[in-house]
Amino acid sequence: MSTVSPAAPAVEIVGLRKSFGDLLVLKGIDATVEPGEVVCVIGPSGSGKSTLLRCVNLLEQPDDGKVIVNGVELTDPDVDIDAARRRVGMVFQQFNLFPHLTVLDNLTIAQRKVLRRGKAEADAVAFENLEKVGVADKARVFPAKLSGGQQQRVAIARALSMNPQVMLFDEPTSALDPELVGDVLGVMRKLADEGMTMLVVTHEMQFAREVADKVLFMDGGVVVEEGPAAQVISDPRHERTKTFLRRVLDPTHQDPT
């Protein structure tokens, strides 16, 4: 862990705007994630929350605004984006494990090729992280042999193997069978407890309420409401947040029309 001055946020997003063609997806987002903080982004589909997350490691190129991670401005055109991405782990909805590599090689390839770690060190780091997410016994198999929950935990371990300072999660449980969601959320909760800085786009309100320090509610490309998790989820102030949460937490409830 490199030292970060206590004042500097881990992630700072300033006036972020992004459009796809004519469609303005992010209409000026400001947000910060402090070191060690867990921030959950919630909101209806199409609200721009995944795009926001993908802008944080520049998988999407923002049109305007700044993204600053650990004091490095990623939106600077001359930034070494590959160096910056090494310090930001990303977990995808569809896992995106490398199907032609074993679980172990999935975890070591970037360590070897990017961080130039030796084989012994890379293997040791890989096993330590597989142990942490509870799939160390699957190190030698190919991803296709694993359940969705196991694949996603391997994907988390793969990101952790680069020793990131921030972890981004893009709806990590949305592609999972319901009974496998708990395993992945359990791993994420453990990470949070260990003090990992996390930015999580999720539909798991229970997780957000219990684990997040802060919740952002996004709708229509703007942050509608943000605050402590318990407050935003249990006692939302804005009408749009209330409507969304009512639908998510009580899907069978019919709005009186």
Partner 1 sequence: MADTTPRAEAVPRARLSPRKRQRISRGIQYAVFAAAVAAVGFGADWASLAEYFADLDVAKEAFPELITVALKNTVIYTLSAYVVGFVLGLVVALMRLSSVAVYRGVALVYIEVFRGLPALVVFLIFGFGLPVAFPGLEFPFEQYGTVAVALGLVAAAYMAETFRAGIQAVPNGQLEAARSLGMPQTRAMVSIIIPQALRVVIPPLTNELILLFKDSSLVFVLGVTSLTTELSKFGGDLAAEHADSTPLVLAGAAYLVITVPLGYVVRRLEAKQRKAR
* CB of 98 vs partner 1, minimal distance in Å: 6
Residue number with CB closer to partner 1 (96 or 243) = 96
Q: Which three-class secondary structure string do you get for 211-244?
A: HCCEEEEEECCEEEEEEEHHHHHHCCCCHHHHHH
* CB of 180 vs partner 1, minimal distance in Å: 19
Q: Which positions lie near partner 1, rule CB under 8 A?
A: 57, 59, 82-83, 85-86, 88-90, 92, 94, 96-100, 109-110, 113-115, 144, 155, 158-159, 162
* CB of 160 vs partner 1, minimal distance in Å: 11
Residue number with CB closer to partner 1 (155 or 229) = 155
**Total Cβ atoms within 10 A of residue 102:** 16
In terms of Cβ atoms closer than 10 Å to its own Cβ (0-12, 13-18, 19+), residue 144 is: exposed
Residue number with CB closer to partner 1 (49 or 158) = 158
Residue number with CB closer to partner 1 (127 or 142) = 142
* CB of 172 vs partner 1, minimal distance in Å: 13
Residue number with CB closer to partner 1 (116 or 140) = 116
Q: Which long-range contacts (CB under 8 A, 24 or more apart) does 80-87 make?
A: 82/114, 84/57, 84/58, 85/57, 85/58, 86/114, 86/115, 86/162, 86/164, 87/162, 87/164, 87/165, 87/166
